[in-house]
Amino acid sequence: MPIKIDNDLPVKKILEEENIFVMDENRAMSQDIRPLDILILNLMPLKEDTELQLLRSLSNTPLQVNISFIRTVSYESKNTDKEHLARFYTTFDKVRCRKWDGLIITGAPVETMEFEDVEYWNELTQIMDWSEKNVTSTLHICWGAQAGLYYRYGIKKLPLGFKFSGVYEHYPLHKKTPLVRGFDDTFYVPQSRYTGVDKDAIVENPRLEIVSESKITGPYLIIGDEGKNIFVTGHPEYDTVTLDQEYKRDVGKGINPDIPVNYYPDNNPDNKPIKSWRCHANTLYSNWLNYYVYQVTPYEL
């Protein structure tokens, strides 16, 4: 799929070098098709890294996708250049006046805090409220999934007392569900979190369905209201080196973290990690765009 992004977005050059089909604004104007308009609320601290990761995963269907990034105004990022934010990001008040095909709410490094104590919580809940009538389907990732499950369905997060860090085996529960169409019997997903979700509460909620999980890390893919809201508790979009960077960052802080599971060859952090999850990640994002956005959204928004 061609993804249309700003011609000057720094990650555009990296995507092109990786042979990912990126369409500039001039070519997009000549396409006589109805593209999908996807909004990404990027809550991660290293925003450019997340931009690259998500754009890779959104680039693998025949659909044309127009990407727009928004940031919070109630909290100012300390890890991304202000000029980058001003040039490539907008705010909720600038996009709320129209309808969107899809919305992605990313994770954020605030999972040990109570939801209501997060500085931008009120702003996030306003966006979630707005999305109910103005977005065809919303994809929530990691902490974004926990926040969405809590606010939309009252599902509480649970402290683990340790950190899931590594690449864990998962499996689909309902292979005919479009979200997991094309998945293998088992597949791998990066996890990096100190909290989980209440599986029993999800099972008891008639508006929610678990369609994939791990015997170790619990529910992974959860569908709400038949695809209006989709929750991804892991990080399928992660780069090969992301867990490595997190592990070595924590070592440098003296946290003494466990070595990420199923990640380094011979379990040796001196070895280059191997990526074992990209095919699943691409299929997941393609299925979301096709079956829960494109097939559902009317031609005229």
Catalytic residue numbers, as ranges: 142, 235, 237
* CA 77/CA 43 separation, integer angstroms: 9
Q: Burial level of 190, CB count in 10 A (0-12/13-18/19+)? A: buried
* CA 12/CA 23 separation, integer angstroms: 9
CB atoms within 10 A of CB 114: 9
Q: Which two tokens stand for residue 171?
A: 């499996």
Distance in Å from the first CA to the final CA of the chain? 20
Contact 271, 265 (CB under 8 A): yes
Nearby residues of 203 by Cβ (< 8 Å), 6 or more positions away? 210
Contact 194, 160 (CB under 8 A): yes
Locate all alpha helices (DSSP H) within the chain, ordered by sequence. Answer: 11-17, 25-29, 47-57, 82-88, 92-95, 121-134, 143-153, 199-204, 242-252, 278-287
Contact 231, 140 (CB under 8 A): yes
* CA 155/CA 1 separation, integer angstroms: 35
